[in-house]
Amino acid sequence: MTMDTSKPGFASVAFTNGYEFTQGSGYALPEYPFTVPPELTAAEPSATTALRRYPVVVIGAGITGLTLAAALAQYGVQTVLLDEDNTVGVKGASSRGICYAQKTLEIFKRLGIYERIAAKGIQWSVGRTFAGDDEVYAFDLRQQQTHSLSLEPPFINIQQFYIEGYLVERIMALNTDAGPQADGQPLVDLRWSNRVTALSQDGEAAAIDVDTPAGAYRLQAAHVVDCTGSRSPVREWVGATATRRRGDDRWCIADVRFKDTPPVERHTWIQAPFNEGRAVWQHLMGDGVWRIDYQMPPDADPAEISREDVVRARLNAQFRRELSQEDCQIVWVGPYAYRSECLNAFRHGRVFFAGDAAHVFSPFGARGGNSGVQDADNLAWKLAAVLHGRAAEALLQSYHEERHEAGLHNMLTTNRTTRFLRPADGPERLFRDATLGLARQHAFARQLVNTGRMSTPNIYTQSNACDETGGHATQNVRLAWADGSQGELLDLLRWAGGRLLLLAFGPLSEVAAQALPALAMDADVRCVQVMASGERAQAAEHIRDVQGHVRSTCRLHAPESDLAWALLRPDGYLVATGTALDARLIHALERGLGTRDTTRAMVRGQTRIDR
């Protein structure tokens, strides 16, 4: 089923998954048909036909699972995607995640759905924070270094179910392009209404039991990725443990459409006079719908705070006038509470955890859904590299090293915001109140106002797949092809086809120019010379960095007249940088591939190849 994005919103649906107090006209979600899986269609099931083994099985077709399946498809990895539901989103949960950060948007562009997101969503970069009626802090993300170079905007607001729907359709298109695989199945076998009931694993494979409307079956997988969310049963099946922090903070979402729209900016109130001195968030999403989050008392009754007349009274107080049905349409209302938790290990044998199955954060700073998408992007290229024989199995452990570090950082960051918004009596409240008082009059204190540190790419400092010069994300900057036409860094990453990408900057010596094609052949890495204005091409594959943005995003500080290099991964992260094509580059390749043997043939006993 194709999503009809011409309609203003999605109609009333059955409320499940704990959202029993929702109100409003609601959203109608697309429904996808159940297809009997091949395990249940064999004419005469046998030990061979009844238990099929797949390279990857993903459990959960939410935003993380769909991103992972689409990315694996682009890398040519056959995948089975299981979901117990028959639709996108969560029935009754409405907009859920809405703020998608620049790094996530770059991932969606690589997957082929960014243009649809940009057309449907709302781009924004300006945020304003108020304490009472006083503005105490403002920012423009376009002016911040982490967002300044990319061709994608700092954020786009769009309802999560739209992105999930776009990903479903993209997967179907990739299946059409790839055609049936050797076993007759699609590249991504998206199985709706397939509920996983058990999982076990041994040294050979993981076994998954699945229940469907047509009966139960079992399948095997070399690798399993759990993307089922915060209520994941897989955690218990594999004995996963977590670090947790549960609060008593309650909120109530109101998705509303106004006749006269407020400014297209992120507005937050820390001590909103119209909400009994508690916090409020205000964002515009797709379809002209505003998402307004109201902080509620910790003992608030979910049914009471979600009543439409109570929500309308709240809206009237905020906008200081009586809003009629024509002035303000309530699309959806739903209360929520949150917890913070992070698994202590993101990998258990053949099972990986991603998205909310791996970590749950409070919503401040938009770090939940964005982190899940970036989990998927991190894991996809590594699974593909191992399954295609380009990298060693050891590379997969770097998924835990990198994304667990990111998860702990995001949990710490969002917990700090939580304590600022609802401080405990004593030092926390004293600090918060003093900060707000100073911020009303002094610029230095405004940076201390914490209503959510916005999602940016995490830096990896604990990874065996990067060295001390790597671990940073590049941005999707503009470049020029050899013929002078315009391109993007994402185009180079796509061209690399899931391989590591070596960018060599500055003039090359004769030996270095000869070494690049040898390196590409022996180490299975793509090599490209990056030329500044006026430099001569010395390699078959070359681009021009007229504005210097490619060099800048690769964090190279050597003079343009000197040789420098940057080794990039398929997810756009730096493995390492350097200033000589020597043994350090060889070691960086080994890190990026999880092996010490891959580049041995290329070295040929030399410790330096640019002389």
The mean pLDDT value for 434-445 works out to: 87
Give the pLDDT score at 125. 81
User: Is residue 530 situated within a structural domain?
Assistant: yes
Distances (CA, A) of 265 to 99, 127, 443, 509, 534: 12, 6, 21, 51, 43
Domain assignment present for residue 569? The answer is yes
Whether residue 11 is predicted with pLDDT greater than 80 in this model: the reply is no
d(CA 353, CA 407): 12
Query: 172-181, pLDDT tens digit by residue?
Result: 999 999 999 9
Average pLDDT over residues 26-40: 87
Tell me the pLDDT band of 596, cut-offs 50, 70 and 90: low
Residues 529, 536: contact at Cβ < 8 Å? no
What is the average pLDDT across 486-506?
95
DSSP code per residue over 384-431: HHHHTTSS-GGGGHHHHHHHHHHHHHHHHHHHHHHHHHSPPTTHHHHH
CA-nearest of 408, 402, 411, 420 to 361 is 411
Cα separation, 375 vs 359, whole angstroms:
10
pLDDT at position 349 is 96
The whole-model pTM stands at 0.90
User: In this predicted model, which residue has the larger pLDDT, 279 or 383?
Assistant: 383
Does residue 258 lie in a domain region? no
Query: The domain containing residue 593 runs over which residues?
Result: 478-603
pLDDT digits (tens, 9 = 90+) for 395-416: 999 999 999 999 999 888 888 8
Q: Is the pLDDT of residue 285 over 60?
A: yes
Percent of the residues in the chain that have a pLDDT greater than 90, as a whole number: 54
Q: Give the pLDDT score at 421.
A: 78
| Cα 275-280-281 angle, rounded to 5 deg | 155
Tokens of 394: 């050891």
CATH of the domain at 599: 3.40.30.10
Is residue 531 included in any domain, yes or no? Answer: yes
**pLDDT tops 70 at residue 30:** yes
Per-residue pLDDT tens digits for 570-588: 999 999 999 988 889 999 9
Instruction: With beta carbons less than 8 A apart as the criterion, state whether 350 and 201 touch.
Output: yes
For residue 204, give the 3-state DSSP assignment: coil
Identify the residue whose tokens are 């982490």: 146
Domain count of the chain? 1
Residue 494 belongs to a domain = yes
Residues with Cβ within 8 Å of residue 313, at least 6 apart in sequence: none
Does 429 score more than 50 pLDDT?
yes
Instruction: Provide mean pLDDT across the span 323-350.
Output: 89
Q: What is the pLDDT of residues 535-582, one digit of tens each?
A: 888 888 999 998 999 999 999 987 777 889 999 999 999 999 999 888
Q: How confident is the model at residue 78 (pLDDT cuts 50, 70, 90)?
A: very high
- Token couple for 9: 């919103």
Q: What is the pLDDT of residues 226-279, one digit of tens each?
A: 999 988 999 999 999 998 877 667 888 888 999 887 778 889 999 899 999 999
pLDDT at 356 over 60: yes
Cα angle: 215, vertex 82, 40; to 5 degrees: 30
The answer to whether residue 602 scores a pLDDT higher than 90 is: no
Q: Convert the pLDDT of each residue in 457-486 to its tens digit.
A: 899 999 999 999 999 999 999 999 988 899
User: Residues 146-160: pLDDT tens digits?
Assistant: 668 899 998 899 989
Given a cut of 50, is residue 18 above it in pLDDT?
no
276 within some domain: no
Whether residue 6 has pLDDT greater than 50: no
Rounded alpha-carbon distances, angstroms, from residue 48 to 44, 204, 226, 273: 10, 16, 26, 68
Average pLDDT, the chain: 86
In a domain, 140, yes or no: no
SS3 content of the chain, % helix, strand, coil (to 5): 30, 25, 40
Tell whether 148 is covered by a domain: no
Q: How far apart are CA 291 and CA 275, in angstroms?
A: 16
